[in-house]
Amino acid sequence: MTNKLFIYNTLSRNKEQFEPANPPFVGLYACGPTVYGDAHLGHARQAVVFDVLYRYLSHLGYRVRYVRNITDVGHLEHDADEGEDKIIKKARLESVEPMEVVQRYLNRYHDNMRLLNLIPPSIEPMASGHIIEQQQLVEKILDAGYAYEKNGSVYFDVARYSESHPYGRLSGRKTEDLLANTRPLDGQSEKNNPLDFALWKKADPSHLMKWPSRWGEGYPGWHLECSVMSTKYLGIPLDIHGGGMDLLFPHHECEIAQNVAGFGEPAVRFWMHHNMITINSQKMGRSLGNFITLDEIFTGSHRLLEQAYAPMTIKFYILQAHYRSPLDFSNQALQASEKGLLRLLKAAAAIDSLPAGPESAFDVDELSHRCGEAMNDDLNTPILISHLFEGVKWINEIQESRASLVKEDLKKLKELYDTWLFSILGLQMISPGDSGKGITGELIELILQLRTEAKNRKDFEAADRIRAVLTDLGVVIMDRKQGTDWEFSKDA
Amino acid sequence: MTNKLFIYNTLSRNKEQFEPANPPFVGLYACGPTVYGDAHLGHARQAVVFDVLYRYLSHLGYRVRYVRNITDVGHLEHDADEGEDKIIKKARLESVEPMEVVQRYLNRYHDNMRLLNLIPPSIEPMASGHIIEQQQLVEKILDAGYAYEKNGSVYFDVARYSESHPYGRLSGRKTEDLLANTRPLDGQSEKNNPLDFALWKKADPSHLMKWPSRWGEGYPGWHLECSVMSTKYLGIPLDIHGGGMDLLFPHHECEIAQNVAGFGEPAVRFWMHHNMITINSQKMGRSLGNFITLDEIFTGSHRLLEQAYAPMTIKFYILQAHYRSPLDFSNQALQASEKGLLRLLKAAAAIDSLPAGPESAFDVDELSHRCGEAMNDDLNTPILISHLFEGVKWINEIQESRASLVKEDLKKLKELYDTWLFSILGLQMISPGDSGKGITGELIELILQLRTEAKNRKDFEAADRIRAVLTDLGVVIMDRKQGTDWEFSKDA
């Protein structure tokens, strides 16, 4: 199989032609959520970006195994190994079993992902389900001499590792600079060096999530699970490892160090990182009051939101930016995106009813080719979308009888949208009352037709009554020159 | 808190008044699916029965933690410990990673359960996620002298255990009879006694799912996970442990033996077992060709099915039998059930539009009281449903102006159905095009009203056209004396 897919590899800082290590199989690993709270816009971006990659690789004919982990234990606050495990903290506050908290948020995360129309990963391994494997890797790293045990905890020895390996290469940092910039160790820390990170952490007696080990009761350090679960399910080397740019350092840097120390090689061929999001140009954070969960955005229940935004609008907005560009969320931008998406979906839905003409004014094959070129250029979804909007112009011109396509080309145009808009970008028709069978839209069309007939026979009472009922149901109708148009109202 | 809930305890073979060990908390554990294939009718019954119990206990004011395990490893064929692990077999056939098979079927199981409108359990622990805990229990049982190691495997010593404990008490079997009835050991077996069962099984080199242990590479025996995960998340003693009657022996019997040997006590207070299902009076089995998955039944794609059956029809049918009675599936029975459910749902939906009368012909409080009595009598859902049908008669009489209820009683009647039909039985309105917002139903009502108006002004062309469009959309309309009725057609 040959293709011209180029992917920007964070490791080389270049777009490199992608070929899997063992075609036709592709191993794809993406860092998933820590399930101690509701998913927010950052989780949506992560999941949407790698879903599109998964879909596109499958479209190219690869057999992709897509692994996205669930961090349910061991995620320490920031990089402070001294910090309390986030999940345990939440569990204590709520007086519930940690795994009950995990399950609740995992279910909610899955619900959100389903609304975004994402394909579930092939495997969603949980950190707590791989404690033995993590202990095994700690032992390997200890045996290799790149870690040390202290008081029941095991730490990775960054200084020792740096003597022979380029720690900081992925994130472009120099160990000397890192060392120079770290705060001096306070008396509490037992690490030899502030850059060292925990592989295994001794548990306090009050700690709820802990397991026995040869170092005593404890739990794995956060970076460890990804080294373990990515290689367990995808082998070494694995083709693509992705995540947000915020994970570049220290998470992915530590992962590489663990892989080299434990497996003798970095294990990952392509590192892909998507950029961060901002809200009204500000970093998102709970303390800043601009932390918006997906539930809030889908229901419009956050003070910064002027309305609810459909999952497809959020997804489309994410795809309108290249994954390596920053993305700013604002009401204005989302409303523009919503309009654009509706225009695109309406045009795609209209193809079926376009009349075939005697000749073709547009080159559908060429447009389709350009769609592929856009995706091959490091998943350039904004360019792909601009090509799809080019097609909208054509569709409108054909609707207005200002141009035509022959029957065969109309069929190809239909396929083009089916492939790129629906299969690869994974977008869906928006309609809150729609069961997926299109029944609601068709019923509304029937009602509008009956209303037009009422107006034609001057039965304005009936026409107004119909409008009133539809308005009650959240359907806004707009009488235009060409006929009556409708859409679901914002708060439907 | 006091209540009069009586539950049949398999252990005592009596209905016993239920009180939790630590009110208001209730620990509920139910044996969940082995995820190596699609869920079938038996899985639906299991999940529906314990969902109703979960809902009812919550309704009584208890704070229920509901744990349903996922068996993803170690489920040996029948009781033959020599057999191949089912999941591994499937994974080998498909040449995929076992956890990829597990994830696929787990996702499908969740999809099925969602269609049945079941509340997700508080925790869904996986066997593969609790290997260390299982190894710890094996060690405890070894230390207590109730197990022996042989060639890297560890077996529970049933004969030794039986000397001082009533093995067979739950299932009503006598160890001597069991021993007399077992086939002689062939030369291959390493067990001391055919009744012994594996706690830890040595893995062949080709075995895909295995973990290191002090006895070598292996995997836990199937019975072990439930002892471990039920007590880990619910404590000892735990209030209710449920499952199908097919699990009574050996699974639950072995579980008790493990608990006594390892924890020093049986651990479970109430054992609840639901009865089995048959298909056209035959046991269901792959080899018999009558193995029907839930996907097949929801889509009507099995040769034994005359039509598709909605998830709510299946659920209602299950609830029309007491959980301890056998349940036979047939087209005839399901079609009768579907009709009954629609009658019930239609009546419940009509309450809002019933006119209040000057006096009440029926005693709503008393009916509500009887609903509670039915559930308190070992979850007697068929009796509860018969009370709900009694209410349908009332609703019909009121609709036909042959009886009345005062306003306050109409409100209570509405609450009665909201509570017992929707909250506790967890049934939902059936309508394939319904998004849950009721928009489709209301649109259809509007269209029917417009059609009636067309007929009134003798515009039969319009009336027929409306009927044709609705028919296309899968809506069947029926002109009756009292007006026009409608329903979704069977294949909608």
**CA distance to partner chain B, nearest, from residue A245 (Å):** 28
What is the fold, at CATH topology level, of the domain defined by B6-274? Rossmann fold (3.40.50)
Taking only the tens place, the pLDDT of each residue in B187-216 is 568 999 999 999 999 998 777 889 999 999
| Cα gap B251→B31, rounded to integer Å | 10
Classified as helix, coil or strand, A10 is coil
Is residue A221 within 8 A of residue A85, CB to CB? The reply is no
Please enumerate in sequence order all residues whose Cβ is within 8 A of that of A101, keeping only pairs 6 or more positions apart, or say none: A35, A36, A87, A90, A91, A94
Is residue A30 within 8 A of residue A243, CB to CB? The reply is yes
Q: Residue A264's pLDDT band (boundaries 50, 70, 90)?
A: very high
Mean pLDDT calculated for residue range A244-250: 95
| Cα gap B307→B334, rounded to integer Å | 10
Residue A289 has pLDDT above 60, yes or no: yes
Using a CB-CB cut-off of 8 Å, the residues of chain A touching B211 are 132
Using a CB-CB cut-off of 8 Å, the residues of chain B touching A434 are 435
Q: How far is CA A82 from the centre of its chain?
A: 30
Least confident of A65-74, B10-19, B239-248: A65-74
Q: Which residues are B377's β-sheet partners? A: B6
**Average per-residue pLDDT in chain B?**
89
Q: Kindly list the strands in the beta sheet with A327-329, ordered across the sheet, starting from the edge strand earlier in the chain.
A: A282-283, A277-279, A327-329
Least confident of A372-386, B172-186, B300-314: B172-186
**Average per-residue pLDDT in chain A?**
89
Instruction: Take residue A195 and report the two structure tokens written for it.
Output: 């850059």
Is residue B308 within 8 A of residue B292, CB to CB? The reply is no
Instruction: Take residue A209 and report the two structure tokens written for it.
Output: 């999530």
Taking only the tens place, the pLDDT of each residue in B102-119 is 999 999 999 999 999 999
pLDDT at A434: 39
pLDDT at A448: 85
**Angstrom distances, CA of residue B461 to CA of A445, A460, B470, B471:** 18, 20, 14, 15
Yes or no, beta carbons of B442 and A121 under 8 Å apart: no
Whether the CB of A123 is below 8 Å from some CB of chain B: the reply is yes
Least confident of A111-125, A185-199, A343-357: A185-199
Taking only the tens place, the pLDDT of each residue in B339-395 is 999 999 999 989 999 999 999 999 999 999 999 999 999 999 999 999 999 999 999
Residue A438 has pLDDT above 80, yes or no: no
Q: Which of B71, B443, B486 to mutate to test the interface with A (most CBs of A within 10 A)?
A: B443
Using a CB-CB cut-off of 8 Å, the residues of chain A touching B97 are 65, 122-123, 233
| Cα gap A54→A320, rounded to integer Å | 18
Please enumerate in sequence order all residues whose Cβ is within 8 A of that of B307, keeping only pairs 6 or more positions apart, or say none: B300, B331, B335, B490, B491
| Cα gap B320→B384, rounded to integer Å | 9
Facing residue for A103 by CB, picked from B107, B123, B474: B123
| Cα gap B11→B27, rounded to integer Å | 17
Taking only the tens place, the pLDDT of each residue in A452-474 is 888 888 888 888 888 888 877 77
Say which DSSP state B355 is in.
Answer: P
Yes or no, beta carbons of B440 and A435 under 8 Å apart: yes
Whether the CB of B466 is below 8 Å from some CB of chain A: the reply is yes
Q: Residue A475's pLDDT band (boundaries 50, 70, 90)?
A: confident
Residue A58 has pLDDT above 80, yes or no: yes
**Among B35, B416, B67, B474, which Cα is nearest to B235's?**
B67
Q: Which helix (H) or strand (E) holds A271?
A: strand A268-274
**Angstrom distances, CA of residue A178 to CA of A78, A161, A193, A194, A249:** 16, 14, 11, 9, 11
Whether the CB of B288 is below 8 Å from some CB of chain A: the reply is no
| Cα gap B34→B195, rounded to integer Å | 23
**Among B247, B309, B235, B254, which Cα is nearest to B275's?**
B247
Q: In A315-448, at which residue ranges do the beta strands (DSSP E only) sit? A: 327-329
Residue B490 has pLDDT above 50, yes or no: no
Q: Where are the alpha helices (DSSP H) in A3-94?
A: 41-59, 86-94
Q: Which helix (H) or strand (E) holds B66?
A: strand B63-68
Yes or no, beta carbons of A462 and B440 under 8 Å apart: no
3-state SS string for A136-190:
HHHHHHHHCCCEEEECCEEEECHHHHHHHCCCCCCCCCCHHHHHHHCCCCCCCCC
Least confident of A339-353, B150-164, B256-270, B277-291: B277-291
| Cα gap B471→A55, rounded to integer Å | 37
User: A431-436, long-range: CB within 8 Å, 24+ apart, which pairs?
Assistant: A431/A488, A432/A310, A432/A474, A432/A488, A432/A492, A432/B435, A432/B437, A432/B439, A433/A473, A433/A474, A433/A488, A433/A492, A433/B435, A433/B437, A433/B439, A433/B440, A433/B443, A434/B435, A435/B432, A435/B433, A435/B434, A435/B435, A435/B440
Q: Which helix (H) or strand (E) holds A413?
A: helix A407-416
Is residue A218 within 8 A of residue A186, CB to CB? The reply is no
Yes or no, beta carbons of A433 and B453 under 8 Å apart: no
pLDDT at B281: 92
| Cα gap A131→B130, rounded to integer Å | 9
Q: Residue A489's pLDDT band (boundaries 50, 70, 90)?
A: low
pLDDT at B481: 65
Q: Residue A98's pLDDT band (boundaries 50, 70, 90)?
A: confident
Please name the residue of chain B whose CA is at the shortest distance from the CA of residue A103.
Answer: B123
Of A349 and A68, which is predicted with more confidence?
A68
Do A7-274 and A278-424 come out as alike in CATH topology? Answer: no
Using a CB-CB cut-off of 8 Å, the residues of chain B touching A97 are 65, 122-123, 233
pLDDT at A183: 63
Domain spanning A7-274 has what CATH number?
Answer: 3.40.50.620
Q: Residue B489's pLDDT band (boundaries 50, 70, 90)?
A: low
Q: In chain A, pLDDT over 70 holds for what percent of residues?
A: 89
Please name the residue of chain B whose CA is at the shortest distance from the CA of residue A96.
Answer: B65
Side chain identity at residue A15, one-letter code: K
Q: Where are the domains of chain B?
A: 6-274, 278-424, 439-488
Using a CB-CB cut-off of 8 Å, the residues of chain B touching A453 are 462
Interface of A with B in 227-256 (CB under 8 A): 233
Least confident of A56-70, A109-123, A278-292: A278-292
Q: How far is CA A171 from the centre of its chain?
A: 21
pTM greater than the 0.95 cutoff: no
Residue A93 has pLDDT above 70, yes or no: no
- Please name the residue that has the structure tokens 């502030």: A194
What is the fold, at CATH topology level, of the domain defined by B278-424? Isoleucyl-tRNA Synthetase; Domain 1 (1.10.730)
DSSP state string for B173-208: --HHHHHHHSPPPPTT---SSTT-EEEEEEPPTT-S
User: B264-269, long-range: CB within 8 Å, 24+ apart, which pairs?
Assistant: B265/B236, B265/B237, B266/B237, B267/B227, B267/B230, B267/B231, B267/B236, B267/B237, B267/B238, B268/B11, B268/B29, B268/B230, B268/B237, B268/B238, B268/B240, B268/B241, B269/B9, B269/B21, B269/B237, B269/B238, B269/B239, B269/B240
**Among A249, A208, A254, A224, which Cα is nearest to A86's?**
A208
Residue A441 has pLDDT above 80, yes or no: no
Of A420 and B492, which is predicted with more confidence?
A420
| Cα gap B436→B445, rounded to integer Å | 16
Taking only the tens place, the pLDDT of each residue in A117-159 is 999 999 999 999 999 999 999 999 999 999 999 999 999 999 9
Of A96 and A32, which is predicted with more confidence?
A32
Facing residue for A129 by CB, picked from B97, B107, B126: B126
Taking only the tens place, the pLDDT of each residue in B43-89 is 999 999 999 999 999 999 999 999 999 999 854 333 344 455 565 55
Using a CB-CB cut-off of 8 Å, the residues of chain A touching B118 are none
pLDDT at B177: 80
Residue A223 has pLDDT above 80, yes or no: yes
Q: Residue A490's pLDDT band (boundaries 50, 70, 90)?
A: very low
Q: Residue A312's pLDDT band (boundaries 50, 70, 90)?
A: very high
Q: Which of A26, A123, A437 to mutate to test the interface with B (most CBs of B within 10 A)?
A: A123
Taking only the tens place, the pLDDT of each residue in B386-444 is 999 999 999 999 999 999 999 999 999 999 999 999 999 999 977 543 333 345 667 78
Mean pLDDT calculated for residue range A332-348: 94
pLDDT at B79: 36
Length of chain B, in residues: 492
Q: Which residues are A197's β-sheet partners? A: A156
- Please name the residue that has the structure tokens 């119990």: B53
**CA distance to partner chain B, nearest, from residue A248 (Å):** 27
Whether the CB of B25 is below 8 Å from some CB of chain A: the reply is no
Backbone angles phi, psi at A345, to 5 degrees: -65, -40
